[in-house]
Amino acid sequence: MTGMLPADTPRELILKSSDTTNPDYGFTSLENLPIEYLLENGVIVLDKPSGPTSHEVATWVRKILEVERVGHGGTLDPGVTGILPTGVGNATKAMQALLPAGKEYVCVLELHHDAPETEIRRVIGEFVGKLYQKPPLRSSVKRVLRVREVYYNEILEIKRRLVLFRVGCQAGTYIRKLCYDIGEALGVGGHMRELRRTRVGSFREDEHMCSLYDLKDAFMFWKEDGDETELRKYILPIEFGLGHLPVMNIRDSAVDAICHGADLAASGVVSLSSNMKKGDMVVLKTLKGEAVAVATCDDTSDRIIKTKSGIVAKIDRVLMERGRYPSLWKKKST
């Protein structure tokens, strides 16, 4: 059985107070958002091909969709394939929120000499938990020693000197360095021969993934024939990219204040995820499920449930445009 990423942390929704949402404001359903809106607020589970850089792929997506802004969440080396989470328009703001979600890869490790299968399994099983890593020479970041966590290693197949395994790890983990270290621990040497990213938080390889060709065809079907069926499969609401985060659901009256930069007060919270800690990244949502902002939790779930005043979340990045909900907070302050 495959292990768990931080995005899989089980959480319950705790009710703090009761309230209803006005159907006249916002989107009542995230399933039938206008395509034009998705092209400014959508995320794509893109299957990056081997060869181009992640930046080049993002540029191609921008040209394919004829939009001004496209950003990706988590760089893949040119030779690596797999999930490249991509934000379109306003959704580029949400890409940074993928950092705590965890990532999963399937890797081919090539050993330089023969080693007993039992020893291979034993050694790879030891590379779980917090590991010290120094980025490889070809890395684009400063080569300083740092700690990264490997959540699980699962060997899928061993064929002579080739080892196929699945690894779940913290963002910023270098799988190339992991393969090198495994080879050194076995005493035979080794290197990463092939790598594919199969998951980033809520983005999974077997759900909604599309290639650049798929995306181009889907866009042309919509542009030329008005058929938006395929495009809807691939451009998902921004909320999809935030599904790994704990949530605070807020009142209609608090939405526009947050869109103008206000932090979230306890009185604005209707319900929230359990097991949240101070400092956790959270997503603030309307009672219809629309993402309003990404914030930093300022207390624990248990304490927020009981408190009646004060700031409970500090805004990091506003995702919703101003004016979707009325400025009810201004009326209260006058």
325 vs 286: CA distance, rounded Å:
10
Return phi, psi of residue 26, to 5°.
70, -165
> What is the arrangement of strands in the sheet containing 13-15, beginning at the earlier edge strand?
13-15, 269-273, 247-250, 281-285, 291-297, 311-318, 264-265
Catalytic residue (one of 77, 252, 280, 298): 77
* Pairing of β 247-250 and β 281-285: parallel
For residue 5, give the amino acid letter. Answer: L
* Residue 304 neighbours by CB under 8 Å, 6+ apart: 16, 266, 269, 272, 276, 297, 312
The full DSSP string for 47-59 is EEPSSS-HHHHHH
On whether the CB atoms of residues 21 and 286 are closer than 8 A, the answer is yes
Name the E strands within 94-214.
Answer: 103-111, 129-133, 146-159, 162-169, 190-200, 203-204
Whether 77 is catalytic is yes
Max CA distance (Å), the chain: 77
Using N-to-C axis directions, what is the helix angle for 175-186 and 117-126, rounded to 10°?
130
Catalytic center residues: 77
